[in-house]
Structure 1
Amino acid sequence: MKTFFTRTASALVFVAVMLGGILWSPFTFFLLFFLIGCFALQEYFKLLRLIDTDYAAVSGWHKWGVLVAGAAIMLTFTGDTFSIGHMAAGLIGWWIAVIFLLVLPLGEILLGKDFSLKNLGYSAMGLLYVIIPFSLLIHIRMNAIDLQYTPGNVGTAPGWLIPLLLIIFIWINDTMAYIVGSLIGRTPFFPAISPKKTMEGSVGGMILAVVAAGVYGYYWGQEYLALQHWLVLAGLAAIFGTIGDLLESKLKRMAGVKDSGAIMPGHGGFLDRFDSLLLAAPFAWIYVHFFMMA
């Protein structure tokens, strides 16, 4: 019972923080995903150190350099939305990211005990796996005006809507997959990675997430987005969110841990909460910028 109340309380706090950060302003949106990205990157590095002990030997310069580069990359995707003095924050972030990404290998050679291209590759994968997806969500949010005034039947979606919808669709998919799997699940779905997942539950969750998006989009949502966009975004969130969850489960299994962190009592770490979003976000960004804004 104590565990139930702990999980419920932390979930309520999580929802409140997420909604406040996403809806309040462009700055709170950026700050929210900036912090999530930085902490998730640290958890990724922790998993890597458990998977390959060679990575535990990287220099302090390497660890902090990658973190600063990741933070600068996220700042880059704000474009000219914010300014520091008379210069766009996005431009400042771009220069910091370029400098650190160029200097980081040199620092690794000079300051590291043993230079390893493998360790540089691990760090580069962390930026690609964790930082870029959150950066793309930030980019969608900061370019809301482009989406609103695109000719055609896109609608008048505020910039925060699509990132919020991805999170909601992923939640619906996960919840429905659990319910359907509990009721009729028989066929294991990647049992070596996630033994509790079933094929019936996974497919059922995807279908019901798209159905829920279609029903809401048809009756109430077309003033914001055309119906086809509701359906496609839900499909992307369900399919790639499921793959993202399996990918992080594989990393945890390789590392021999149950959770990536302990930031949320009873719910794990940042990677545990946003693993699905990490893979769904890039595909949503591609769809938004090449099909909704074409």
Structure 2
Amino acid sequence: MKTFFTRTASALVFVAVMLGGILWADYTFFLLFFLIGCFALQEYFKLLREIDVDYAGVSPWHKWGATIAGAAILLTFTGDSFSIGGIPTGFIGWWIAVLFLLVMPLGEVLMSKDFSLKNIGYSAIGLLYVTVPFGLLIHIRMNAINIHYTHENVGTAPGWLIPLLLIIFIWINDTMAYIVGSLIGRTPFAPAISPKKTIEGTVGGMILAVATAGVYGHFWGYQYLALQHWIALALIAAVFGTIGDLIESKLKRMAGVKDSGKIMPGHGGFLDRFDSLLLAAPFAWIYVQTFMIA
């Protein structure tokens, strides 16, 4: 019972912080995903240290260089939305990111006892796997004015809509997959990675997520997004969100841990909460750029 109340309380706090950050303003949206991105990257590095002991021996320069590069990459995606001393934060972030991405390998050569290109590769993959997806969400939010929302291209949907929909569709897919799997699930989907997932539950979750998006988009959401966009975003969230969840589960299994972190009592770490979003966000960004940009 105590565990139930702990999980419920932390979930309510999580939802309140997420909604406040996403809905309040541009800068709160950026700060929210900036912090999530930085902490999730640290959890990724922690998993790597458990997976490969060689990575545990990287120099402090490498550790901090990769962290600062990740933060700078996130800043880059703000573009001209904010400025410091009249200089766009996107420009500042771009130069910091380039500087540290160029200098970090040099520092690794000079300061590490055992130089390894493999360790640099691990960090680079982390920036692509963890940092860039959150940056793409920020980019969608900051460039919403260029997005065509309806058939007539006159929609007035706020910039936070698409990122929020991705999160909601992922949650619907996960919840429905669990319910359907519990009721009729018989065939293991990926037993070596996630033994509890079933094909019936996975497919059922995807179908119900897309169906929910289609029904809501047809009857109520048409004023914000054309129906095909509701369905496409739900499909992206369901399919690639599921794959993203499996990727993080594989990393945890390789590391021999249950959770990536302990930031949320009863719910694990940042990677545990946003693993599905890490893969869904890039494909949603590609969809927006291809089919919804003016």
| Short-chain TM bin | over 0.9
1:221-260 residue pairs with structure 2 within 5 A? 221-260=221-260
Native 8 Å contact 1:153 1:226 kept in 2: no
What's the CA shift string for 1:155-193, capped at 9, x where partnerless?
A: 322110000000000000000000000000000000000
Native 8 Å contact 1:148 1:157 kept in 2: no
User: In 2, Cα distance between the equivalents of 1:149 and 1:262?
Assistant: 38
Asked whether 1:12 is paired with 2:7, we answer no
Residue 86 of structure 1 and its aligned partner are, at CA, apart by 1.2
Native 8 Å contact 2:149 2:157 kept in 1: no
Which one-letter code corresponds to 1:201 in the other structure?
G
The unaligned stretches of length 5 or more in structure 1 are: none
Tell me the residue number matched to 1:175.
175
Tell me the residue number matched to 1:160.
160
Residue 291 of structure 1 and its aligned partner are, at CA, apart by 1.1
Which one-letter code corresponds to 1:63 in the other structure?
K
1:77-226 residue pairs with structure 2 within 5 A? 77-147=77-147, 152-153=152-153, 155-226=155-226
Give the aligned length. 294
Task: Indicate the SS of the match to 1:251.
Answer: helix
Aligned residues with identical type, % of pairs: 83
Residue 152 of structure 1 and its aligned partner are, at CA, apart by 3.9
1:11-50 residue pairs with structure 2 within 5 A? 11-50=11-50
The unaligned stretches of length 5 or more in structure 2 are: none
Residue 292 of structure 1 and its aligned partner are, at CA, apart by 1.2
User: In 2, Cα distance between the equivalents of 1:135 and 1:150?
Assistant: 25
Which one-letter code corresponds to 1:136 in the other structure?
L
The 1:93/1:18 distance shift into structure 2, 3 A limit, reads same
User: In 2, Cα distance between the equivalents of 1:148 and 1:240?
Assistant: 23
User: In 2, Cα distance between the equivalents of 1:88 and 1:66?
Assistant: 22
User: In 2, Cα distance between the equivalents of 1:70 and 1:143?
Assistant: 21
Which one-letter code corresponds to 1:172 in the other structure?
I
The 1:210/1:154 distance shift into structure 2, 3 A limit, reads farther
Tell me the residue number matched to 2:60.
60
TM-score, normalised to structure 2, is 0.98
Task: Indicate the SS of the match to 1:262.
Answer: coil
Greater than 3 Å deviation, 4+ residue runs: 148-154
Task: Indicate the SS of the match to 1:196.
Answer: strand
Which one-letter code corresponds to 1:129 in the other structure?
Y
Which one-letter code corresponds to 1:121 in the other structure?
G
Native 8 Å contact 1:154 1:292 kept in 2: no
1:275-290 residue pairs with structure 2 within 5 A? 275-290=275-290
Residue 151 of structure 1 and its aligned partner are, at CA, apart by 8.1
User: In 1, Cα distance between the equivalents of 2:82 and 2:152?
Assistant: 29
Residue 148 of structure 1 and its aligned partner are, at CA, apart by 5.1
TM-score, normalised to structure 1, is 0.98
Residue 147 of structure 1 and its aligned partner are, at CA, apart by 1.1
Task: Indicate the SS of the match to 1:260.
Answer: coil
Which one-letter code corresponds to 2:48 in the other structure?
L
Native 8 Å contact 1:65 1:100 kept in 2: yes
What's the CA shift string for 1:225-248, capped at 9, x where partnerless?
A: 000000000000000000000000
Task: Indicate the SS of the match to 1:189.
Answer: strand
What's the CA shift string for 1:115-150, capped at 9, x where partnerless?
A: 100000000000000000000000000001111589
User: In 2, Cα distance between the equivalents of 1:76 and 1:153?
Assistant: 28
The 1:196/1:135 distance shift into structure 2, 3 A limit, reads same
Native 8 Å contact 2:206 2:235 kept in 1: yes
Native 8 Å contact 2:241 2:277 kept in 1: yes
Native 8 Å contact 1:157 1:225 kept in 2: yes
